[in-house]
Structure 1
Amino acid sequence: MLLNYQLKQSSKHETAKKSEIIFIIHGLFGSLSNLSSLGKELQNDYDVILVDVRNHGQSARSTTMTYQEMAGDIFELADSLSIETFSILGHSMGGKIAMECALSQPHRINRLVVADIAPTSHVDRHSDVFSGLQAVRASDVKNRTEADKVLAGYVDTPEIRQFLLKSYQRGDNGFQFIYDVDNLYQNYSVIRDWPEQNSYYDKPTLFIKGELSDYIDEASQPAIIALFPKAKLKVINATGHWLHAEKPKTFNRLVNNFFAQ
């Protein structure tokens, strides 16, 4: 599947030196705009490609969402742009896609950044979210303010509601989610799972964890070390799962320093 993407070209194209290319992959319920501030900052030194994962944003819809398929989407896009090797960063579900890319074709991935997710299966954390999104779709709301009131009956945290409703946009037939709620719901057990691996990625890797998040915990560290033996871990204090939105300056600095090494 050829994904929708946005290319931010580096100013280094004005020089003889070719820029490193970095793919950035958003998480569940997101879109390529979620990490655009990081993309803009990295653009000073690198070519940056932001993508909409299948069933998100302007990318095509699909009834299946295995990590092998979604990693294949990234490589298909790279091939279409004549990009042989690149670095990759992903948050949450996007982090799992990035890890699958590195493990399946390590010779094509130069560096890897994984934001607040581990290479393990995760428990169901989104039943209330899906119920809330379905309630919004079933209601006759005319704007995001009304949608927020409906969603508040299912999701307590205002910041999470704001994120979910960022993709609730006006279209030809009124307001609609630009992620496919039905396909995401049907594939949610696959999304929170992690496929069995028989390889490892032995290149520079950075995991960034939010201190208050438990998506990366002590129990997941053996899996990280086994699959990514050169991995380093950085923790952003007083931050949860949405670390790139909660502490963008710190997050962006860690990413920039890693790619500059």
Structure 2
Amino acid sequence: MPQLDVDGAALTYDDEGPRDGGGVPLVFLHGWTANRRRWDHQVAHFAEKRRVVRLDLRGHGDSGGSGVRTIAELATDVLAVLDHLKIERFVLVGHSMGGMISQTIALAHPERVDRMVLVSSISRMTYSRGRGLLMAASTLVPFKLFVATNIQRAFAPGYPREEIREYVRTSADTPREVVMTLYGAMRSFDVLDRLGEIRTPTLLVHGYHDIQLPVTQMLRMAKAYPDAVVRILDAGHELPVEKPAELTAALDGFVTDRP
């Protein structure tokens, strides 16, 4: 389990698959309160034929550190790991908050991003007045209840309750400071008006039943991308684990078939 010290935080990462051939390396970025294991199905598939990197973001999973305030700071951590591994050009695959990090990197370093896949992610959070009040009020409840409520809402109806409870437990293990600060960072994240700058071929994959980041918000984002492909799956917000095979197939087609 290799680690890299970045600005006082030991960041844990996996670097798997063949180094030669197989195409540009894939970089998987997980979402808020999750960890790199969310990508187990996808990594097992792609690491057979190409280089794959995934990491636990600062304060998540097996990575240390706290004090992060913005999505841009997380993007800096990701680039530090990739620089350490001497990976100059890559395909970004980001889920939810990981997709926000991916967009941040694509805007700052377009020359390094070969392609990008945004899974259950958006470029600007927008709320109705009622939902905005509800989200603001949710931060006033006890921390574990706040986490549990948000994670339970991430899954489509019918997903096994025992598995949801395990994801809730994992998320609640994330330090409170990290959880709450990055919750605020996601709510303030907004690059929608800059999407026209991103010329990187992009795949947008979203769950039809996603109530965390509704599909209507993703479609608004899709209109702004100069070169985007859209796939909508019958799932909620947690596509990597709700529909692992379907997501992997969508990724495989996009990163394999495009020049």
TM tier, shorter chain?
A: 0.7 to 0.9
Aligned to 2:255, which of 237, 256, 259?
Answer: 259
Please report how far the alpha carbon of residue 161 of structure 1 lies from its aligned counterpart in structure 2 after TM superposition: 2.7
CA distance in 1 between partners of 2:216 and 2:30 (Å)? 24
Between the aligned partners of 1:135 and 1:103, the Cα distance in structure 2 is 32
SS at match of 2:37: coil
Matched with 1:55 is 59
Corresponding residue for residue 187 of structure 2: 192
Cα deviation for residue 63 of structure 1 reads 1.6
1:225 maps to 2:229:
no
Q: Is the 8 A contact 1:122 1:193 kept in 2?
A: no
State the distance in 2 between where 1:130 and 1:91 align.
Answer: 26
The CA deviation at 1:67 is 1.4
Structure 1: which amino acid aligns with 2:123?
Answer: P
CA distance in 2, matches of 1:163, 1:180: 15
Cα pair distance change 1:20/1:164, threshold 3 Å: same
**What does residue 171 of structure 1 align with?**
none
Q: Tell me which residue corresponds to 1:182.
A: 177
Separation in structure 1 between the aligned mates of residue 89 and residue 240 of structure 2, nearest angstrom: 25
Q: Distance in 2 between matches of 1:216 and 1:25?
A: 20
Per-residue CA deviation, residues 113-142 of structure 1 (Å, 9 max, x unaligned), is 000111112553893797352799xxxxxx
2:210 aligned with 1:202: no
Give, in whole Å, the separation in 2 of the partners of 1:110 and 1:131. 42
The Cα of 1:219 is off from its aligned counterpart by 4.7
Q: CA RMSD in A?
A: 2.9
Residue from 226, 243, 247 that aligns with 1:247: 243
1:187 shift after superposition: 3.6
Deviation at 1:104, TM superposition (A): 1.3
TM-score normalised over the length of structure 2: 0.78
Partner SS state of residue 33, structure 1? helix
Q: Who is 1:110 aligned against? A: 114
Larger Rg belongs to: 1
Instruction: State the percentage of identical aligned residues.
Output: 24
Counterpart contact for 1:130–1:181, Cα < 8 Å: no
Residue number in structure 1 paired with 2:132:
none
Question: Counterpart of 1:4 in structure 2: which amino acid?
Answer: T
SS of alignment partner, residue 192 of structure 1: helix
Point out where structure 2 has 5 or more consecutive residues left out of the alignment. 1-5, 128-134, 156-160
Aligned counterparts of 2:242 and 2:179: Cα–Cα separation in 1: 25
SS in 2 for 1:4: strand
SS in 1 for 2:188: coil
Partner of 2:30: 26
Structure 1 runs not aligned, ≥5 long: 137-150, 169-176
Aligned length: 231
More helix by share: 2
TM-score by length of 1: 0.78
**Contact 1:118 1:224 (C-alpha < 8 Å) held by counterparts:** no
Native 8 Å contact 2:204 2:222 kept in 1: no
**Distance in structure 2 (CA, Å) of the matches to 1:50 and 1:129:** 33
Shift of 1:218: 3.2
What CA distance in whole angstroms lies between the structure 1 residues aligned with 2:219 and 2:256? 25
Which of 142, 151, 157 does residue 131 from structure 1 map onto? 142
Q: Which residue of 2 aligns with 1:80?
A: 84
Query: 1:256–1:129: structure 2 CA closer, same or farther, 3 Å change rule?
Result: farther
User: Structure 1 residues 41 and 155, CA, compared in 2 at 3 Å: closer, same or farther?
Assistant: closer
CA contact (8 A) 1:91 1:115 kept: yes
2:3 aligns with none
1:3 aligned residue: 11
Q: Is the 8 A contact 2:29 2:55 kept in 1?
A: yes
User: 2-side partners of 1:135 and 1:229: how far apart?
Assistant: 37
| Alignment CA distance shift 1:194-1:229 (3 Å) | same
